[in-house]
Amino acid sequence: MSLADNMRGERARMKWTQKKLADHLKVSESTIRKWESGKTVPCFKVADMALLFGCTTDYLLGLTDHPAA
C-alpha cells in the first residue's frame, strides 16, 4: 500500500475527518486532501502522523504491512 492509502486508512480507523486531522497537524484541509489523493507528499509531517495514529513511520510510508513496531 502507499502512504496515501495508509494515511487514509489510519484516519478512517480513528474516525477522524480530514478537517480533524488537518487541525491536529496544523495544516489546511485541502493539504490533507492532496496528501490522501497522492498529489503531494507530507514528508515533514509523517512522524507527527505516526505519533497521532500510534503506528510506525515505516507503515505509513508503505515499507511494512505491520502498523506497530
CA distance 13 to 21: 12
Please give the CATH superfamily to which domain 3-60 belongs.
Answer: lambda repressor-like DNA-binding domains (1.10.260.40)
CA distance 24 to 69: 23
Q: What is the pLDDT of residues 6-37, one digit of tens each?
A: 999 999 999 999 999 999 999 999 999 999 99
Please calculate the CA angle 66-25-16 and round it to the nearest 5 degrees.
Answer: 65
Instruction: Give CA 65 to chain center in angstroms.
Output: 15
Residue 68 reports pLDDT greater than 70: yes
Per-residue model confidence (pLDDT) at position 67:
87
